[in-house]
Structure 1
Amino acid sequence: MSAAPLDRSEHRSGPLLDHLARRMRLRSESALTPLGLRPRHLVALTVLRDVGEISQQSLASTLAMDGTNIVGLLNDLEAMQLVERRRSPEDRRRHVVELTDDGAKRLNEAECALASAENEILGTLEPDEREKLYLLLRRAASATTVTCTTVILDDVPSDDNR
């Protein structure tokens, strides 16, 4: 008995996304290096710009980082004077973090540098195609994922249904 032929009409996006992500990551890192930033710095600065003042604990939760890593990240950004960290006036045990004016300027510079990197990687796409790609990726990133294993297990009848 031979195996069923592969359905070559199906396209797998994972390997292409992985390839583009690697190219984008390498190009982004080289664009951010002259600014003294790493991608994780950029993400934190972007969150701070978008939400304003936030507790250190909430920022850690938003970035899905543990306490030790968020302290290291904020130490880096504070040393560059891109963020300000201070005790909360309401609860002296809490720290609040805020983007500084220098942080907002550096973030803007980084976004311009990244736009150039993105143009290099995605330059063959028309502007409307890039917007569509962005919206699709954003939707995919926010969706709850279902794995093949989950689907297979859900389709297997339980002992009660046999």
Structure 2
Amino acid sequence: MNDEDSPAFERGTGFLLARLGSLAARSWTAFLTKHDLTQAQYLVLVTVKEQGPIGQRRLAELIAMDARNIVMVLDSLSPRGLIQRRTHDSDRRRRIITLTDAGAALLDTIAAAAATEQDHFLHALTCRQRDHLNRLLRTLYDSRITASASSPES
């Protein structure tokens, strides 16, 4: 089917971005499910890897999750040996979260598999087209983040 065969709204950038975003989100969720993770669990693991040992409340802030809700996510990761929780040395009310070797290994496995998954999702594009698409999307994303940060509602 060419562009002229589809309704005008289906040719619009917003529609295409929304549909592809939905397809990508479903694909990503299915991918994480294969690795026995939810999006929230993955975000916790990646953030702890990037930040190093981190307070539970700060971790919740970084992933935009209510501090009360993050406990359930941490409770699901800890028994699997993916993270470790310990009491802060000077403040016994605080908990420090660290990534275990098993958690780091899982993230490495996911990173390798994600590259293959991305290749499958973007198979219709050449490497050059993928790079170009990524640059364009990054430009749009960065402009939206900048606009959100400078808006009076943020």
1:104 paired residue number: 104
Within a 5 Å distance, the mapping from 1:42-121 to structure 2 comes to 42-121=42-121
2: CA distance, partners of 1:36 / 1:14: 32
1: CA distance, partners of 2:80 / 2:138: 30
Once the two structures are superposed, residues 72-102 of structure 1 have per-residue CA deviations (whole angstroms, 9 ceiling, x without a partner) of: 1111111211111111112211111011100
- Report the identity percentage: 32
> What is the letter of the counterpart of residue 39 of structure 1?
Q
Q: 1:32·1:113 contact (CA, 8 Å) conserved in 2? A: no
1: CA distance, partners of 2:139 / 2:96: 30
Q: 1:96 to 1:41 in 2, by over 3 A?
A: same
Q: Which fold has the larger relative contact order, with Cα–Cα distance below 8 Å and residues 6 or more apart in sequence?
A: 1
Q: 1:32·1:38 contact (CA, 8 Å) conserved in 2? A: yes
The CA RMSD measured in Å over matched residues stands at 2.3
1: CA distance, partners of 2:125 / 2:62: 31
Q: 1:42·1:110 contact (CA, 8 Å) conserved in 2? A: no
1: CA distance, partners of 2:69 / 2:134: 29
SS in 1 for 2:108: helix
Deviation at 1:117, TM superposition (A): 1.9
1:137 paired residue number: 137
- Where does the alignment leave 5 or more consecutive residues of structure 1 unmatched? 1-7, 151-162
> What is the letter of the counterpart of residue 145 of structure 1?
A
Structure 1 length-normalised TM:
0.73
- Where does the alignment leave 5 or more consecutive residues of structure 2 unmatched? 1-7
Q: 1:123 to 1:105 in 2, by over 3 A?
A: same
Structure 2 length-normalised TM:
0.77
> What is the letter of the counterpart of residue 53 of structure 1?
P
1:36 paired residue number: 36
Moved over 3 A (4+): 131-142
1:3 paired residue number: none
Pairs aligned (count):
138
Q: 1:53·1:98 contact (CA, 8 Å) conserved in 2? A: yes
SS in 1 for 2:96: strand
Q: 1:23·1:121 contact (CA, 8 Å) conserved in 2? A: no
2: CA distance, partners of 1:90 / 1:130: 49
Bigger Rg, structure 1 or 2 = 1
